[in-house]
Amino acid sequence: MGSCLSVDGTRARTINYSPASTSSTGKLRNPRKKLRRNSSFESRMEMRLHRIPGRLFLNGSTQVASLFCKQGQKGINQDAMIVWENFCSKEDTIFCGVFDGHGPFGHKVAKKVRDSLPLKLTAQWELHCSSKNQMSDVSTSTTGSLKSGEIAFRMVDEEQNAINDLHKDNLTNIFMTLKESFLKACKVMDKELKLHGDINCYSSGTTAVTLVKQGQDLVIGNVGDSRAVLGSRDNEGALTAVQLTIDLKPNLPREEERIRLCKGRVFALRYEPEVARVWLPNCDSPGLAMARAFGDFCLKDFGLISVPDVFSYHLSEKDEFVVLATDGVWDVLSNKEVVDIVAAAPQSSAARMVVESAVRAWRMKFPTSKVDDCAVVCLFLDTSSNYTSIHNEESETSIVNPLDDGSRKVDPESTGKDHRGISKCPV
């Protein structure tokens, strides 16, 4: 659903895009040397990342998490995922994320963001901690787009500042620090993608729902329509689902207003009236089914942004696990269904059980449709139960549908905290 379409329903042709190939003196450059240098550096960095203890990005599990990704039937798997324990060299800190790529090079964008965004978040977090007395202006940290981006970011800045003033006492130090770190890291990440010499991100991009758990605090950053859901117990001991993020679709009022002010268009195709898409002002392309994403630079001047929604949540003893998944799962399973599956499964195979259930649901609910990629990360908050580690070398992906029967979620237009203690700072 996040792929780009033309208005007649066919997959849009790739829009040719490349940086200028001539210098200011008019002499032709040879891009091959730069590409070779970039590729060599990328491969060395990837090898170093894969050797880091506690960093898992393939199917498998640890004592605190379960991961599983499965390729659908739409072509190359464009989903990615990660769990990084002892994040930032802190023993009580974990980073998790899922990424749903789209477009011709979506698989490359998703993996690039998976590998680079945690490093940029680490750098911004450490920088912020080392200069606590020099607080940066939040508005300058959110200017990830150019030109019409000024309108887009002014709108989210005003909303951000109003919420901060209203709920200042409820925003913990860890939340404020990580919120600014998320904002700056996402800005730098998107800029790097735009300048990347080896990945064409003009009409390709990715979602990213990521979280940092430090002690009993969760801070979640969300770009796009992947989703985070908490499995918790109510006062009677019944398992409930609490949606921690908002699916950032183009038809959300605040998202649609921003896109239209930036001259972008939002409408659904005749044969799928439930799927709102973002289109260029004078061209029925690319038809992106989300309002925020990394990459997709053909739309960045027309209301699409990479600024994350940032939320915090303080955990209690009733909270059992968090599920991050791409929209391939949420399109066919409700929040409550996913939470029930995880609670009933062995910890080490919980993510796999969710993906397999989603694949079965796809075949039952949409027998004529191709199954989407699915990626799931389950982070367990109580690791005292019996556990058997499983590691696997496969990888896979996912999709979205807010079927929230029996679950609770954050009101898309709410601010501050709900009765569960979720702090929201949309930025």
DSSP-derived letter for residue 96 is E
**Angstrom distance (rounded) from CA 315 to CA 297:** 37
**Angstrom distance (rounded) from CA 377 to CA 204:** 23
41 part of a folded domain: no
123 part of a folded domain: yes
268 part of a folded domain: no
What would you measure as the largest C-alpha separation in the chain, in angstroms?
A: 74
H-type alpha helices, 52-208: 106-130, 138-141, 149-166, 173-195
User: Model confidence over 208-221: pLDDT tens digits?
Assistant: 999 999 999 999 99
User: Model confidence over 58-101: pLDDT tens digits?
Assistant: 999 999 999 999 999 999 999 999 999 999 888 899 999 999 99
**CATH number of the domain within which 89 lies:** 3.60.40.10
**Angstrom distance (rounded) from CA 145 to CA 198:** 21
Note every long-range contact of 316-319, with CB atoms under 8 Å and residues 24 or more positions apart, other chains counting: 316/216, 316/232, 316/421, 318/232, 318/233, 318/234, 319/230, 319/231, 319/232, 319/233, 319/381
Range of the domain at 342: 51-248+305-426
User: Model confidence over 38-66: pLDDT tens digits?
Assistant: 556 666 767 777 778 889 999 999 999 99
Q: Return the pLDDT at 209.
A: 98
**Count: domains in the chain:** 1
285 part of a folded domain: no
Q: What are phi and psi of 45, to 5 degrees?
A: -65, -40
**Strand segments (E) across 1-46:** none
Q: Return the pLDDT at 41.
A: 60
Identity of the amino acid at 251: N
Distances (CA, A) of 248 to 25, 214, 223, 252, 379: 44, 25, 7, 7, 23
pLDDT at 193 over 70: yes
User: Model confidence over 313-366: pLDDT tens digits?
Assistant: 999 999 999 999 999 999 999 999 999 999 999 999 999 999 999 999 999 999
> What is the mean predicted confidence (pLDDT) over 378-383?
88
74 part of a folded domain: yes
Q: Is the dihedral of CA 180, 65, 226, 234 positive or negative?
A: negative
9 part of a folded domain: no
What is the token pair recorded at 46? 């990837």
